[in-house]
Chain A
């Protein structure tokens, strides 16, 4: 009994209890508001939500609209959006667009002076590889087995996976086009510290051809998928674009294959929308324009908000005496104008004949004498956040746009067809090509007054017609490279750093691999010239 005397001290007992108490399990914490990878796919909705993330990887900048939880670091979130960066890299480096802002090294894009430390060049690259990593992760996670375990059908999941592979191919194409020989990773690589191998353009080209050929059968038939999601025609269009630029990528012409892929699209029932302007309005997902669009990037003023995408594409070109209300926006960002070289593509700049001339000249000068001044250079009012009936978009504050971005559309396919025929591709005809081009011009002029003859259908004409039809739609740099007019054989204001402009070195047909990745991955060799 005596040995238990210490029990009389209740405090001592308490202390003994606590000293023997171990909290080991308490160190195994789980996330609360985030989902852990081990449980997230118990929810069947998660598969579609993950696929949705891959699509918004192009349109948005993160998990909080319009900003607040960005996908990538190293740049302001507003700038970090994929489509905004892609637009900047395809447009600001050409005669189509100049930017008056002073953000970081952005003028080096206008001026053809960028180097491997350029934060925008890095942001584009990091966006591409974020997208590739995202799709690789999807392909690892969204297996048929896992999906069927929670009640999804195998067919659904196969289509999801094919769409993810399309989205990965799209980004790999951008990487191939802009950066040349690039690191290559697939779902078969792990997540973590390893150094991806750098593959040359021929390897990536072959990979993309194989991928896009394979998934064509697994994707939903053209125009049968939900709006905003990729279908067979999207894959065919992407493949056609890769073939069209094959001489740039692998030094070999593949124009016949271009025509083969485009012919599949032409048989799917797409039609040119009757009104050019309506292609770029807030209701372009429902006003008929959707029948021309092969692959849109959808935006919504209330549900799909960001400072990139069409918010940037609509707001950045509005300034000076332009009326923001006419664009369905709260205010413009007074940034983007164009050069006199682009204006020269139009003999009548008023829009009275060719409606695609959408210049705003009041208070603006033709010459871009001052690169920091919005009034230097004509403005272009092509994209708008008002509907075909003149109603502003759904966000009453005018901050975020409903207007969808037509990444691939039929008119582009028509011009590609014509170009492939002119460049010697077989399986098509000059007469069909001429018919396609004149359909486009008939729409632009409202009648046949702008139609051309077969004698006028030259490669130079195609390049100019692509500028007229597709300007501000993020095609220009790739087009100019293909025509060898991006660096050599062309000038525009401030190219090379001078007002008159000077040709730049051919090595600039590729962007440099960002210095951050050269450092992070010792397997990488920088593009020549940088």
Chain B
């Protein structure tokens, strides 16, 4: 596969897994939690690096899951002690992120891990770091990791589709039916962390947030059905990944930045032109009714 092909494949994998997870994020009104986790994952990665002194996939995944869960638990804990939910998110993620940045600046140096890399990712290097997979051949490491994460996400969503649906739309009903709502909350947050960290290495923190929230919000404007929303959100993720790559190639600029920008374009199109919940449709409908 060509160099461009690998980059597009990597970004599309990010778009798919983030798109699926993002739908649940939007429905559970936890969009800013995703922003928080995408920042605190940095602390997990830095700590994993300081402990093991190597930048391999599995250590970083474990560190990131711990950091993500720590964020969730801390936000909840402060909230129970009288801090507003929003403020609690703000306190936790900025503090943990600051610790991560300070650790990088003082302990790690710029040799292996730098902040800019984690913010913007290095998708251009991905096709070079290849590993051998039996039957398939040489495949970039990031593609392997992202495929595995996508598989986990899809299995988790499909296997408990009904449970996710009920806990997202009506947590009280879910609890009365005996579905472990709290456990599902933490499982979901772990899924967010895993997706974030897998995507993080490839595309950086900004694009993860953009990919998690924006395609799902755009899909939310097109449909009222969860199944269709999932498919649309994944599709929008892939489209913005590809569109973003070509914008970046055209302007010769940051790929992850352009992909984040492309998700914004798709959202704007949906926001204005969606037949169901778009601005134009809403503007036209009352006039049609009155005529």
Query: Are A and B bound to each other?
Result: no
Interface residues of B (CB under 8 A from A): none
Interface residues of A (CB under 8 A from B): none
